[in-house]
């Protein structure tokens, strides 16, 4: 709060400036003025809140100064100092709504009391204005939310809208359009208080730099624009405005542009499209995402390939978080680089990877003879993307949890060497699952593993591997039209004749006969 002293006597104005410790009263003392005329020249620029002025000065009087000053600053508090104990002056001062009238002979403490009373009145005016502004803002927010966010245009009287949204519903060029832009800011510390202050500051600057109406949501600002600019010109203007805000507030902004609409009744549609574009915050490198660009995308890959699933299974079984993070990063980056990728297609791909990991867990549990004993511990919900969480982080966390569930709760605590071997065999049936390779995985000598395996399962190691390969081949034959040679290769047999002999030995049928019988059984 600022105070200005006005007196044509240098000894009075300098004395008042020095005798009273204005800073301790919470006041900033402006440079004293030597006349009413000099004070009036400075009022508009310096805008004091309290004026402490002599009543009789060369030129204009203090009462004339009070009159003209209040025209410039209506809320100004004026305290008159006089060397003349003249009741007529006091009467005139009261009529002019002067805050107080004191003699120059008054004690400093009396002047301080008068100034503090004036200061209190200024603060009360500020509080009342703040409350009025708050109530007005609340009313505007409610209408904005119903009209723009919820699309409830019938609940809002259209005749009242220009009163509430004068910066948006102007009577300018008829060839203008409306558009919603959703803005979020980062860069200050992560505390809720700092985040709220940052978004409040950004909202204020947007009001200063754009003709817009805003609604401050949690961690984002919904901005309603009205303009006659072209689409490219608007994007250029917004980038310029955002860069200025980022520079001044030392933060970074992300903005999602909704589609341009011609009628204010369509602002909800623009909001819905801006919200959809906002979902790409963690998916694109640009700080501005235009719905007009993403709506043309056709979608990228939605399902993991068989090769990707095999690699994932191997990583999960090896309990290798570094390899897992690398696998996830490659999978996601490939899609982020695809210009046709959509949020929906990426979400489907991520879900596909999570399901593949869950299938792996169920398979190794079944292969080790424990069924699905931890089914309740597996998070099975659809893995949805969040604007503030990177896709690779979300997927890695889900896959890492599944991997650690097996290795921490099952493999290390309860799984035997034989069970670990069985799990490895299950995931590598189409590759090398010989005794040497499996023994290396479970960290045993091949001969020792052979003995342990026979003791725990009742089967020779080689017989078990063959049984599992035939079982997998049976599963493939039931559902796939692949050639018998391809089925044989998928379970590690390059010699089709040898594979067919083994298959008949274990099932009593050739692979072709088994497929035909399975197809007939399914058709009944």
Q: Is 140 exposed, middle or buried (0-12, 13-18, 19+ CB in 10 A)?
A: middle
Checking if the pLDDT of 84 tops 70, the result is no
Q: In what order do the strands lie in the sheet with 288-290?
A: 212-217, 220-227, 177-186, 252-257, 288-290
- My answer on whether 394 and 428 are in the same domain is no
The confidence band for 145, taking pLDDT boundaries of 50, 70 and 90, is confident
32 pLDDT higher than 70: yes
Domain hosting 282: range is 161-294
Top-confidence residue, 211 or 46: 46
Nearest to 16 by CA among 28, 7, 26: 7
More confident site: 347 or 104: 347
Determine the average pLDDT of the residues in 115-132. 79
Whether the model clears a pTM of 0.75, i.e. scores above it, the answer is: no
3-class DSSP state of 208: helix
pLDDT of 249 higher than 60 = yes
425 plus 326 within the same structural domain: no
Please state, as a whole number, how many other Cβ atoms lie within 10 Å of the Cβ of residue 322: 8
CA 34/CA 16 separation, integer angstroms: 13
Q: Is 90 exposed, middle or buried (0-12, 13-18, 19+ CB in 10 A)?
A: middle
> What is the tens place of the pLDDT at every residue in 390-403?
888 888 888 988 88
**Listed residues 412, 435, 464: the one ending a domain:** 412
C-beta neighbour count of 337 within 10 angstroms: 9
208 inside domain: yes
Single residue among 378, 412, 446 that ends a domain in this structure: 412
pLDDT band per the 50, 70, 90 thresholds, residue 524: low
CA pair distance 348, 39, nearest whole angstrom: 70
| Whether 178 and 288 share a structural domain | yes
Res 172 pLDDT > 50? no
Residue at a domain's end among 260, 294, 328: 294
Q: What confidence tens digit (pLDDT) does each residue in 317-354 have?
A: 878 889 999 999 999 999 999 999 998 999 899 999 98
The pLDDT, as a whole number, for residue 173 is 46
Pair (202, 165) in one structural domain: yes
Residues 173 and 88 in one domain: no
- Domain assignment present for residue 53? The answer is yes
User: Which pLDDT score is estimated for 120?
Assistant: 85
Residue range 142-153: average pLDDT?
83
* CATH number of the domain bearing residue 508: 1.10.10.60
Asked if residue 365 and residue 377 are part of one domain, the reply reads yes
Whether 280 and 363 map to the same domain: the answer is: no
Q: What is the pLDDT of residues 474-514, one digit of tens each?
A: 888 887 788 888 888 888 888 889 999 989 988 898 999 88
Decide if 132 is inside a domain: no
Is the domain of 266 the same as that of 354?
no
Query: Is residue 187 in a domain?
Result: yes
Q: What is the pLDDT of residue 450?
A: 87
Question: For the domain that residue 25 is a member of, what is the CATH number?
Answer: 3.40.50.2300
In a domain, 147, yes or no: no
78 and 202 part of one domain = no
Domain count, the chain: 4
Q: Could you report the per-residue pLDDT of 446-474, keeping only the tens digit for each?
A: 888 888 888 878 788 888 888 888 888 88
Residue 79 has φ and ψ, to the nearest 5°, of -115, 125
Backbone angles phi, psi at 29, to 5 degrees: -85, 115
Answer with the residue of higher pLDDT: 243 or 158.
243
List, for residues 401-443, the tens digit of each pLDDT value.
888 887 766 555 455 778 778 878 877 777 778 888 888 877 8
CA 81/CA 411 separation, integer angstroms: 90
**145 found inside a domain:** no
154 falls within a domain = no
Taking the mean position of all CA atoms in its chain, how far away is CA 388?
A: 4
Q: Do 379 and 287 belong to one domain?
A: no
Nearest to 409 by CA among 443, 441, 370: 370
Residues 421 and 400 grouped into a single domain = no
Across the range 135-149, mean pLDDT stands at 79
- Considering the domain boundaries, does residue 330 fall inside one? yes
Closest CA to 104 of 8, 176, 237: 8
Return the pLDDT at 98: 75
Query: What DSSP character marks residue 406?
Result: I
Average pLDDT over residues 203-232: 86
450 and 396 part of one domain: no
Q: What is the pLDDT of residue 388?
A: 62
Average pLDDT over residues 364-371: 68
125 SS3 class: helix
How much is the mean pLDDT over the chain?
83
């Amino acid at each position: 709060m600022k105070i200005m002293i006005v007196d044509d006597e240098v000894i009075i104005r300098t004395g008042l400036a020095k005798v009273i410790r204005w800073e301790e009263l919470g006041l900033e003392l402006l440079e004293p003025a030597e006349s009413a005329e000099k004070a009036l020249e400075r009022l508009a620029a310096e805008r004091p809140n309290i004026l402490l002025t002599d009543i009789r000065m060369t030129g204009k009087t203090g009462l004339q100064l009070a009159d003209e000053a209040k025209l410039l600053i209506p809320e100004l508090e004026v305290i008159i100092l006089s060397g003349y104990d003249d009741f007529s002056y006091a009467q005139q001062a009261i009529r002019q709504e002067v805050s107080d009238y004191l003699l120059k002979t008054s004690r400093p403490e009396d002047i301080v009391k008068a100034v503090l009373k004036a200061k209190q009145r200024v603060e009360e005016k500020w509080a009342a204005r703040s409350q009025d502004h708050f109530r007005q803002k609340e009313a505007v927010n409610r209408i904005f939310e119903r009209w723009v966010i919820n699309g409830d245009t019938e609940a809002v009287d259209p005749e009242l809208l220009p009163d509430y949204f004068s910066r948006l519903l102007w009577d300018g060029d008829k060839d203008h359009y409306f558009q919603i832009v959703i803005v979020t800011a980062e860069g200050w510390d992560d505390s809720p208080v700092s985040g709220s202050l940052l978004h409040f500051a950004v909202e204020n600057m947007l009001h200063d730099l754009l003709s817009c109406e805003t609604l401050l949501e949690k961690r984002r600002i919904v901005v309603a624009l009205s303009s006659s600019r072209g689409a490219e010109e608007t994007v250029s203007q917004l980038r310029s405005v955002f860069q200025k805000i980022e520079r001044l507030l030392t933060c970074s902004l992300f903005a999602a542009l909704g589609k341009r609409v011609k009628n204010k009744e369509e602002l909800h549609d623009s909001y819905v499209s801006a919200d959809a574009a906002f979902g790409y915050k963690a998916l694109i490198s640009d700080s501005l995402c235009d719905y007009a660009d993403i709506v043309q995308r056709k979608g990228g890959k939605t399902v993991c390939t068989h090769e990707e699933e095999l690699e994932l299974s191997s990583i999960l079984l090896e309990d290798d978080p570094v390899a897992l993070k690398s696998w996830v990063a490659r999978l996601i980056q490939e899609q982020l680089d695809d210009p046709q990728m959509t949020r929906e297609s990426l979400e489907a791909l991520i879900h596909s990877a999570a399901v593949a990991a869950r299938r792996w867990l169920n398979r190794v549990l079944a292969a080790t003879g424990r069924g699905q004993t931890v089914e309740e511990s597996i998070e099975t919900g659809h893995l949805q993307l969040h604007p503030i969480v990177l896709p690779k982080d979300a997927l890695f966390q889900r896959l890492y949890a599944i991997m650690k569930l097996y290795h921490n709760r099952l493999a290390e605590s309860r799984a035997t060497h034989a069970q670990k071997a069985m799990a490895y065999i299950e995931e590598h049936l189409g590759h090398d699952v010989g005794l040497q390779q499996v023994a290396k995985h479970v960290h045993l000598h091949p001969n020792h593993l052979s003995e342990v395996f026979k003791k725990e399962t009742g089967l020779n190691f080689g017989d078990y591997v063959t049984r599992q390969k035939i079982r997998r081949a049976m599963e493939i034959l039931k559902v796939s039209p692949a050639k018998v040679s391809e089925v044989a290769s998928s379970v590690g047999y390059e010699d089709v004749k040898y594979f067919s002999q083994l298959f008949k030995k274990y099932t009593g049928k050739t692979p072709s006969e088994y497929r035909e019988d399975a197809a007939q059984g399914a058709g009944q």
